[in-house]
Every structure is written in structure tokens, then in C-alpha cells.
Amino acid sequence: MLRSYLSDLKSEFRGYSGGKILKDLMAGVTVAAVALPLALAFGVSSGADAASGLITAIIAGIVISALSGAFYQISGPTGAMAAVLVSVIAKYQLQGVFIATLLAGVILLLAGLFHLGRLTAFIPSPVITGFTSGIAVIIALGQLDNLFGVKSIGESAVEKLLSYSKIGFHPNPYAVAIGLSVILFMLVFPRKWNAVVPASLLGIIIATAAVSILRLDVKTVGEIPKTLLPAERLSLASVSPEAVKNLIAPAFSIAMLGMIESLLCGSSAGRMTGKLLNSDQELIAQGVGNIILPFFGGIPATAAIARTSVAIKSGAQTRLTGIFHSIVLLISMFLLAPVMSSIPLPALAGVLLVTAYRMNEWEAIKYIFSRRFKGAILKYLVTMLATVFFDLSIAIVIGVLLALVLLVKRLSSLEINCEKIDMDRAGISDPTLRQRYGNACVVYITGSLIFANTHEIENIRSMIGDICDTVIFSMRGASHMDVSGAQTLLEVIKELKARGIDVAICGLPKATMEIVERSGIAELLGKDSFYWSVDRILLENRACPYMAKAAGAELYNI
């Protein structure tokens, strides 16, 4: 893996020049302008503070970008991760988040070393879309306090929402006005201008200026320390066996989300650039980054499509773009800390609410609903609700299990048709062959022969009845066969042979043929009973059942 990484670096920086450095620098500055308000917002929304979000963006931008599986990946705090952290912080405080981040980093590092980068390919897209929407809902619910200037109680976003009915709901009109103004500003801001100055950054600047000039009574971000080593960071003394035991489940959720977000981001960005992501190397980068982050007081980081797409569109050439973006953020921390400390929380809430809305995969949602894909709709809704009411890892498990159940249901749909051979339609004029196959029938099997549809396979006996002396199984559409399906088909063939019926099989796919060989069906029938097509059988006079040779016919090599 090290050799592959060094090879990618060599290829990436081949022919690197001053012009490319300038492009990377300008792209880094542009990405930093987008990342700054998001880093502050995600830090606050996670339950930590704005400084944690900013430090996360800086450290992740340097470490993860340097080790990344592709030059375009830009990592930092994300809304999805912030949504997961809210309940962790509520239960285990910030030290618990640091330990969970460290453990998640170890999990991600091991996943990369053991080449588990392709695991996300087994998660159906409606499940991913569902938990993305669920996270968007959690982010939105989590920002209601800041948007309305109120204080709720509870560990989860749903509990906090329900607490309003108990403790009362008395919104601060100034907070509401600021939050809604930022939302409206971001929605109407021309998209072509957004490429020059991010609407989120400009909206926060205007809101901060308005609060400062009008001296409005709203909560602000608070002090931004001018250091990468704040007082609140991981203490090794807090890493005890008991803490690890309690936090392994949240750590797994963080690792799973980090894996999914990073690899999906890389997949999308790879299509934009034509450069494929090295999935295993990306997981190693995410693992190393998240192991280091807690020691600087950072929260979990992952690759983010918003910053990554901005980097690509801004002309990023190499992974130095991510490093340059971190340097710009670091300079901002030292120079603009007093200004950032005055940013009103309702303004950040407005930014996050728009971000939550936009992070939904609206095109995919519209597609599955407009096309009425019932299975996809069910997977989407169930995963989304499970994400909101339970936990991300639980939601993924529920979504994947539901997808597997629906897949088995679909695979268990087996179509079996039986019809007598029409010699005139088949173009058989030879009197001998017409007599030989005058009472032959073809059983067409389409679908998978698995445990869930063995009863349908058993029904073949009654479908044939006593009308045929030769049965040809046409199984070109039998895409899969498991042990139960093979055993049931073997019993059916044994009974047909016991009744003196000649049995032949044609058109078996290679994978199904392997099961037929291993199950004993091939041994029972003999190699001369397997053909490429029904036509091949009808051209041969199988005068002696089970023993006839197919002269000149194309047979399977059993």
C-alpha cells in the first residue's frame, strides 16, 4: 500500500510547476472561504464549540489531505458527523467524544489496512439517501434552539423538540429575525456570485455586523482561542477500559459514517475529475487523521462533498489545495479570532438549516417516488426514521437488513411454465424425430431456485402429470441456485425418472451449472443429457434415455 501511495504521489506531482502551485493556492483560498463558516457552525452544532470545528478543519486539512486516496478530497467537520456527536456529548461530555474519535480512527485505519474500502458498495443507495435525509432532519432539529434563542432539554434532537411542550417556548424575536434573514439571503443569493464569495460567509458577516451595530441581545459564538492546543483536548488519563467499553458503539457509528461519507464523496468527485479514489488509502488517511485530532481538541472529520466539489471547480491540481486551505484557516484563527467570537449563533443556525436542506439528495428522492419504486421508497423512509429516532449504526443495520429481506423476496419470485413441443413450429420434419418427441414438453424456469421457492419447484411434478414421456428443462433464465433449490430439483428429477420419463437440461448458466454438478443432478442424468438449447435436443434421437450420445451436438463439458 505504501508503494501504491508513493506511486500516486509521483504521478500527481509529475510536471508540477509554478502555474500549478498558483492554481492550488487560489483553490485553497476559495475552499477556506467556504469551509470557515461551516467549520464554526458544525463545531457549535455538534455540542462542542466553534473553536473545535475550526481546529478540526485545520488539522484534517493538513493530515488527511496529505495522506488521502485522491488529490481532490477535502476533509473537515461535517453536518452529518455533528448530528451524531450531539447525543455522545450529552451523555459522555467532550472527553467522551475525544475517546470515541480516537477509537473511530483506529477502526478506520484497520478498515483501510484490511482492504475494506469496498464495503460501502453493499449498502443500497436508497438506504444511504435515507440516512442522509435523517441526518438532515437531526441537524435541522438541533438548530431550533439557536434559531429561536431558546434552551431545550434532552439528549437527542427529538427529545429536545418534545421538551418545548414541558418547559415552554418563548422565542427571541431578534434571534428569529437574524436566522431567517440569513436563510433568505442564502436562498436568493445568485449562484454565479456564490463562486466568488460564498453566500454563507457573506450572510454571517452581514449578520455579525448588524448585531454589533444594533447591539442586539442574542447569543454569540464566544471566545476563539488562538492556539491549536486548547485546554479542552484528549487526556490519556481519561482513556480507561471502562471508557473504551462504553464508547465503542458510538465510535463504530462515527467510523461507519466517516467511511460512508468519505468514500461516497470520493466516488462522486472521481466522476467529476475522471480520477478514481484509492478507497483503502482514503480510509487509512481518515483513520490517521481522526487518531490525531482528539489530541488537538478536534472532533471527528470526514471528507465533505461541499468542500471537495469547490476545490475541483476552483481548479485544484494536487493535494496541496487541502493543505493551503488549512493554512488560510489557521491564519484566520490568529487574525480574525475577535471577529469570529462575535458571530451570532442564530446566523450559524441559518447556515446549518440551509445546509441541512441542501444535503438531501433531492434528485434521487424525486426519482424513486416519481417512478413509484415501492421497495426503494420503503428502504428510504425506514432508514430515515431509524436515523432520526435511533442511532446511525442501527439505522444502517435496519436499512441493510430491510434491503436483504426485499432482495430475497424479489429473488424468490420464480416463474415456471410448461408447454408441449409443437413439432411443426419447431421445424422438425424427420418422421423418426417427430415420433420420438411427439409427447415431449419443455419446462421453462426463470428466476433463482432458492430456499424461499422450493414449493414452486415441487409443483413441476403436477404440472407435467402423465402427458409427457420426455421433459426438457430450459434453464437459461435460472440465474442462481442454492442447496435447497438443488435438492428439491434433484428429488423432482428422480421421481420423473422413476416414472420412465426421459429428462434433459439445456441452457444452464455457468454458475448454476456448478451447483448442478456438486448437487448430484449431473451425475444422475449423465453428461449426455445437457445441451446448449432445446433445438439441439430435438435434432438428436435420444432413443435410449439417459445413455444416448449427442452426435455432433454442442454439450457442456461436465
Characterise 401 by phi-psi region: left (phi > 0), alpha (psi -120 to 50), beta (else). Answer: alpha
Asked whether residue 346 carries a pLDDT value surpassing 90, the answer given is yes
Whole-angstrom CA distances from 222 to 188, 219, 339, 399, 509 are: 29, 8, 10, 40, 67
Asked whether residue 102 carries a pLDDT value surpassing 50, the answer given is yes
When pLDDT is cut at 50, 70 and 90, the band that residue 443 belongs to is very high
Q: Where are the beta strands (DSSP E) in 394-490?
A: 415-420, 440-449, 470-481
When pLDDT is cut at 50, 70 and 90, the band that residue 548 belongs to is very low
Q: Stretch 137-155: mean pLDDT, rounded?
A: 88
pLDDT tens-digit map of 60-77: 999 999 999 999 999 999
pLDDT tens-digit map of 171-192: 999 999 999 999 999 999 998 8
Q: Stretch 450-475: mean pLDDT, rounded?
A: 90
pLDDT tens-digit map of 311-330: 998 899 999 999 999 999 99
Higher pLDDT, 503 or 238: 503
- Provide the grid cell at 452: 424461499
When pLDDT is cut at 50, 70 and 90, the band that residue 543 belongs to is low
Residue 527 is given by DSSP the state G
pLDDT tens-digit map of 195-217: 778 899 999 999 999 999 999 99
When pLDDT is cut at 50, 70 and 90, the band that residue 547 belongs to is very low
Q: What domains does the chain contain, in order, with CATH numbers?
A: 20-406 (no CATH), 415-538 (3.30.750.24)
Asked whether residue 557 carries a pLDDT value surpassing 80, the answer given is no
Query: For residue 436, what pLDDT is reported?
Result: 86
Asked whether residue 366 carries a pLDDT value surpassing 60, the answer given is yes
Characterise 223 by phi-psi region: left (phi > 0), alpha (psi -120 to 50), beta (else). Answer: beta
d(CA 366, CA 201): 30
Query: For residue 291, what pLDDT is reported?
Result: 97
Who's near 308: CB < 8 A, 6+ residues apart? 72, 73, 74, 265, 268, 269
pLDDT tens-digit map of 481-537: 999 999 999 999 999 999 889 999 999 999 899 999 999 999 999 988 999 999 888
Asked whether residue 558 carries a pLDDT value surpassing 50, the answer given is no
pLDDT tens-digit map of 296-308: 999 999 998 889 9
